Amino acid sequence: MSSLFKRNEFYLGLIILCLVIFLSITTNSFLTIENLLELFTSYSFLGIMAAGMLVVLISGGLDLSFTATATISQYIMATTIIKYGGNLFIAFLIGAGIGIALGLLNGLLVHYIKVHPMIITIATLNLFKGLLMFFSKGKWIYNFPLWFSEPYDIMVFKNSEGYIYPISLPLFIFIVVLIVTGFLLKYTILGRKIYAMGGNKEAARRMGFNLFALTLFVYGYMGFLAGIGSVAHALMVQTVAPNAIIGKELDVIAAVVLGGASLLGGSGTVIGTFLGIAMVAIISNAVILLGIPSYWYMIFLGAIIITSVSITAYNYKLNMRKEAEIDVA
């Protein structure tokens, strides 16, 4: 129990709980199944990508290029199914395939260029974005085939009055991705090796872990989820635009860091990441429901990021000071 209080997830959860209670009292529409389903559906693509970012951060890496990866996957997926037809499975297959390929390229570069991955992925972000804009000429895509526009609701449940609540495909994928990623990180050897690499890279090398393969997997998985997330996003908004996802990279990182992952690697959990995304989603929702001008959303978010990282840093400092104390007889 005492370890619970040390955990970041606990405090984040507490803040979210307070927000939820506050919003349920002040508004009628917040704590309704429709609102919550819609809210999490609209954040599902970011959530899917955040799961990938979590894995990258745990391994001690960073990826700023995943939004470009996602947008490229989206364009190629959209143009292909518009031209040649297909089905939903093929759409996801294309998205995931392109995502994995670009992710692996990142992994390759990160492994061979011994420079902070932030710099490397800034370079690939510029590269991917430039190529995307050049080939797409910045055009939007609207004319999806009809089958792509159908609602693919997975589970439908009714309330006592017979009202039907569907769980949309993007939301369903988000949940599956969270479960799979959580399982991967916690229970598989691969996941534990990723934690180990993020905790002490040199020691992982000495244990004989194949760091190259791990790096490829981590960035490949990020790419894979960027691809999947991008198709989920296209399903939701039914358009593909060059600037719909690009530019959100720091939002995703902020959500994962709020959820307790460290930029130094080695720590972070799926539950934390989910709470981080939930926090961001609830704030944006609160602003709308309370009728506050939507500009306030970013101010709240910025203030919360600054406060939370400041508290973490300050606590760390205090702990260091305490550790140094001596028992003076």
Partner 1 sequence: MSLKSFGKVEVLYRKNPNSFVLIPIFLITLALFSVSLPGKFFTVSNFSSIAFQLPELGILTIAMAITMLSGGINLSIIATANLAGIIMATIMKSQSLVANLSGVNLVTLAIVVGLSTSVIIGFINGIIISYIGVSPILATLGTMTLLNGISILTTKGYVISGLPDEMIAVGNNSILGIPIPFIIFIIIAIVINFWLRKTTSGLSNYLVGSNENAANYSGINTRKVLLKTYTISGLLSGIAAIIMISRFNSARAGYAESYLLVTVLASVFGGFDPNGGSGRIPNLIFSLFILQMVASGLNLLGISSHLAGALWGTILIVVMLLQNKRKNES
Partner 2 sequence: MHEKILEMKNVNKKYGGVNALKNVDFSLKRGEIHCLVGENGSGKSTLIKIISGVVKPDPGAEIIINGEKVKHLNPRESVEKGIQVIYQDLSLFPNLTVAENVAISDYYRGNIKMVNQKEMYKKAIKAMKKIDISINPKKLVRELSVAQKQLVAISRVIATDAEILIMDEPTASLSKHEINELLNLIKSLQKQGLTVLFVSHKLDEIMSISQRVTILRDGNKIGTFDASELDDQKIAYYMTGKTFDQNEKRGTEKFGKKLLEIKDLCKKRNYMNINLELREGEILGIIGLIGSGRTELALSIFGMNSPDSGEIYVLGERVNLNSNYQAIRSGIAYVPEDRLNDGLFLAQPISTNIIASIMDRLVNKAKIFQEDKIKKVVNKWVHDIGIKTDDPENPVRTLSGGNQQKTVIAKWLATTPKVLILDNPTVGVDIAAKHGIYNIIKELASEKLGIILISDEVPEVYHNADRILIMKKGRIINEVFPDEITEAELQEMVIGGEINV
Nearest to 16 by CA among 30, 2, 1: 30
Residue 325 binds partner 2, judged by CB under 8 A: yes
Residue 113 binds partner 1, judged by CB under 8 A: yes
Question: Which of 196, 216, 222, 258 is in the footprint of partner 2 by CB under 8 A?
Answer: 196
Residue 318 binds partner 2, judged by CB under 8 A: no
Residue 211 binds partner 2, judged by CB under 8 A: no
Q: What residues are paired with 165 via a beta bridge?
A: 157
What are the phi and psi torsion angles at 247 (to 5°)?
Answer: 105, -15
Residue 211 binds partner 1, judged by CB under 8 A: no
Q: Which of residues 63-82 bind partner 1 (CB under 8 A)?
A: 64
What is the distance between the alpha carbons of residues 127 and 326, in angstroms, rounded to a whole number? 54
DSSP per residue, 301-323: HHHHHHHHHHHHHHHHHHHHHHH
Q: 112: exposed, middle or buried (C-beta count within 10 Å: 0-12, 13-18, 19+)?
A: exposed
| Cβ partners under 8 Å of residue 125, min gap 6 | 64, 65, 67, 68, 249
What is the distance between the alpha carbons of residues 104 and 96, in angstroms, rounded to a whole number? 12
In the complex, least distance from residue 33 CB atom to partner 1, rounded to whole angstroms = 30
In the block, tokens 């997830």 appear at 9
In the block, tokens 């307790």 appear at 260
Site string for partner 2, 253-272 (x = CB under 8 A): -------------xx-----
In the complex, least distance from residue 115 CB atom to partner 1, rounded to whole angstroms = 5
Q: Which of residues 156-195 bind partner 2 (CB under 8 A)?
A: 187-190, 192-193, 195
Reduced to 3 states (helix: H, G, I; strand: E, B; else coil), residue 268 is coil
The window from 34-42, 71-79, 134-142, 321-329 that contacts partner 2 (CB under 8 A) reads 321-329
- Where on the phi/psi map is residue 32: left (φ > 0), alpha (ψ -120 to 50), or beta? beta
Site string for partner 1, 122-151 (x = CB under 8 A): xxxxxxxxxxxxx--x--------------
250 binds, among partner 2, partner 1, none (CB under 5 to 8 A by kind): partner 1
Q: Which is nearer to partner 2, 27 or 200 (CB)?
A: 200
Residue 209 binds partner 1, judged by CB under 8 A: no
Question: Which of 114, 158, 206, 321 is in the footprint of partner 1 by CB under 8 A?
Answer: 114
What is the distance between the alpha carbons of residues 12 and 304, in angstroms, rounded to a whole number? 11
Structure tokens at 35: 């609102």
Binding site for partner 1 (CB under 8 A): 64, 109, 112-116, 118-120, 122-134, 137, 247, 250, 253-254, 257, 263, 293, 295-303, 305-306, 309-310, 312-314, 316-317
Binding site for partner 2 (CB under 8 A): 187-190, 192-193, 195-196, 198-200, 202-204, 206-209, 266-267, 324-329
